[in-house]
Amino acid sequence: MYVVIAGGGDIGALIAQSLHHEHDVVVLDPDPNVVERMADLDVRVLSGNATDPEVLREAGVDHADAFIATTNSDEVNLIASMLAKGLGAEQSLTFLGKAYYVEVLTDPRTMEILGTRIDRVFWPQRALAREVLEVVLLPKALDTEMLAGGRLRLVEYMVDAESRYAHRLLTDLEWPRGVALLGVLRGGQFVTPRDEDFRDLVLEVGDHLVFVATRGAFPVLHALFAGSDRVRRVFIVGGGTVGYMIAKRLSESRIEVVLVEQDPKRCAFISESLSGVLVIAGDGTDLKLLEQEGLEHADALVAVTDNDEKNLLVSLLAKQMGVEKVVTRVSRSETRSLFERVGVDIPLTPRQAAVRAVLAYLAPEGVERLALIEDSVEVIEVRAPRALEGKRIGDLELPPHTIVVAVIRDERVVLADGDTRIRAGDELILLADRDEVSRVAGIFRGA
């Protein structure tokens, strides 16, 4: 695949990093420092403005499989995307930050005027809000993703000091019927059942367990980690687009929401728009204010201002006050590990959330990307060809760390094991290293 990326900032760099091993990538940016920033990647960097047709031609957009606009300017992204499509790019994708543009471009009347000049719009703020909501609404869960149209759930829990699973041999543990343990995250490494040291693994405090569960089995699994805990009260610091979307959805779920925002005008807007949300005009890092509003009684705190330092301070204050779950917005991907080291439960970046959506959109032929674990392992879906009819999953010649997780057949989902036999047309959900996804796709296409 030939991909042209406009913008060598955080989003553009993350996409280039994810694609350069298997695809031809060109990055456009007027900043000469981008060449140095991309030095470790096998990409071509052109210095120039993405709204200049001559620069786009030099980048080869006329034969590009995809053009992706990721600059910090919505206007540049829009113009560049339409120019690239007009010059011959097969697909034109753009990132937007302003809700107004997103609303306009998703209006069918607008698309009728533009024709097919923009194939897909990505809104990082909305992607982040969705990720935050998914983890906030599940006590104890650090991440979750719905698969197979909601019939299967991917979920991640941490082994804490009070957990019944701490210091237990992994193979001694039994999980409910309809639940499969996909692997253990420890120190940035994901250990799966196909790794040699998996069977001898003793769980430690701080390990993350990643499961997949059927719809009926998930409540049983969740009770093992969260008991009867429910989310009743959530504090949100930051009333921007992300904070607003989160507050609206939580309020609709009948959860008590307290939102702290410094801008009086923004406070007035949110208060008028969301009658069920208590809006406080003030500084979210003011300890006295947080104590007065009862932060210690919140089930979760969500820090989503546009300032990483403020989000970090609010998060640390919340942990000191005993808040069980702290979800924090991190604008810069490189500082995410710092947030984790100082004790923030769930640091999320809007850029990474949206980049995952791009990678899913650009998946190899015959592959649907469903989820990403620790930025290195993917959950994907492929269709079984006729050549695999009747074959045992245990007999498939797959890459070393690739696991068939489940089989979707006739609207039913069955967790797979080595003896499960495949039928032509089955949808198979697999766990695979990110670098092996294209190889796995080729195996099933060529079977």
Output the 3-class SS for the chain.
Answer: CEEEEECCCHHHHHHHHHHCCCCEEEEECCCCCHHHHCCCCCCEEECCCCCCHHHHHHHCHHHCCEEEECCCCHHHHHHHHHHHHHHCCCCEEEECCCHHHHHHHCCHHHHHHHCCCCCEEECHHHHHHHHHHHHHCCCCEEEEEEEHHHCEEEEEEECCCCCCCCCCEHHHCCCCCCEEEEEEEECCEEECCCCCCCCCCECCCCCEEEEEEECCCHHHHHHHHHCCCCCCEEEEECCCHHHHHHHHHHHHCCCEEEEEECCHHHHHHHHHHCCCEEEEECCCCCHHHHHHCCHHHCCEEEECCCCHHHHHHHHHHHHHCCCCEEEEECCCHHHHHHHHHCCCCEEECHHHHHHHHHHHHCCCCCEEEEEEECCCEEEEEEECCHHHCCCEHHHCCCCCCCEEEEEEECCEEEECCCCCECCCCCEEEEEEEHHHHHHHHHHHHHC
Look at residue 149 in the predicted model and tell me its pLDDT. 84
Task: Kindly report, residue by residue over 313-329, the tens digit of the pLDDT.
Answer: 999 999 999 998 999 99
Look at residue 115 in the predicted model and tell me its pLDDT. 55
Residue reference for tokens 């900032």: 9
pTM for the complete prediction? 0.80
pLDDT band at 148 (very low <50, low <70, confident <90, very high): confident
Look at residue 298 in the predicted model and tell me its pLDDT. 94
pLDDT band at 199 (very low <50, low <70, confident <90, very high): confident
Look at residue 110 in the predicted model and tell me its pLDDT. 61
Look at residue 348 in the predicted model and tell me its pLDDT. 81
Look at residue 109 in the predicted model and tell me its pLDDT. 65
- pLDDT of residue 86 exceeding 60: yes
Task: Kindly report, residue by residue over 255-312, the tens digit of the pLDDT.
Answer: 999 999 999 999 999 999 999 999 999 999 999 999 999 999 999 999 999 898 999 9
Task: Kindly report, residue by residue over 382-413, the tens digit of the pLDDT.
Answer: 999 898 899 999 888 888 888 999 999 888 89
Closest listed residue to residue 142, CA positions, set 377, 327, 335: 327
- pLDDT of residue 336 exceeding 70: yes
Do residues 277 and 270 lie in contact, with contact meaning Cβ atoms separated by under 8 Å? yes
- pLDDT of residue 173 exceeding 80: yes
- pLDDT of residue 83 exceeding 60: yes
Beta-carbon contacts of residue 316 (< 8 Å; ≥ 6 apart): 342, 343, 344
Look at residue 56 in the predicted model and tell me its pLDDT. 96
**Distance between CA 258 and CA 107 in Å, rounded?**
32
Q: Which residues pair with 152 in a beta bridge?
A: 147, 214
- pLDDT of residue 332 exceeding 90: no
In this structure, what is the dihedral angle of CA atoms 258, 161, 349, 228, given to the nearest 10 degrees?
-50
Burial class (CB in 10 A: 0-12, 13-18, 19+), 60: middle
pLDDT band at 112 (very low <50, low <70, confident <90, very high): low
Over range 124-141, report the average pLDDT: 88
Closest listed residue to residue 426, CA positions, set 375, 391, 397, 398: 391
- How many other CB atoms are there within 10 angstroms of residue 396's CB atom? 18
Sign of CA dihedral 96, 98, 99, 100: negative
**Distance between CA 381 and CA 414 in Å, rounded?**
14
Over range 209-235, report the average pLDDT: 92
What rounded mean pLDDT belongs to the chain?
A: 88
Over range 127-154, report the average pLDDT: 89
- pLDDT of residue 103 exceeding 90: no
Do residues 242 and 329 lie in contact, with contact meaning Cβ atoms separated by under 8 Å? yes
- The lowest-confidence range among 222-236, 280-294, 319-333, 341-355 is 341-355
Which domains can be identified in the chain, with CATH numbers? 2-122 (3.40.50.720), 128-226 (3.30.70.1450), 233-353 (3.40.50.720), 365-446 (3.30.70.1450)
**Distance between CA 422 and CA 226 in Å, rounded?**
35
Query: 217-229 burial, b for 16+ CB within 10 Å, e for fewer?
Result: bbeebbebbeeee
- pLDDT of residue 136 exceeding 60: yes
Look at residue 87 in the predicted model and tell me its pLDDT. 93
Look at residue 127 in the predicted model and tell me its pLDDT. 83
- The lowest-confidence range among 106-110, 112-116, 304-308, 363-367 is 112-116
**Distance between CA 29 and CA 374 in Å, rounded?**
28
Look at residue 269 in the predicted model and tell me its pLDDT. 95
- pLDDT of residue 82 exceeding 80: yes
Over range 132-161, report the average pLDDT: 89
Over range 246-258, report the average pLDDT: 94
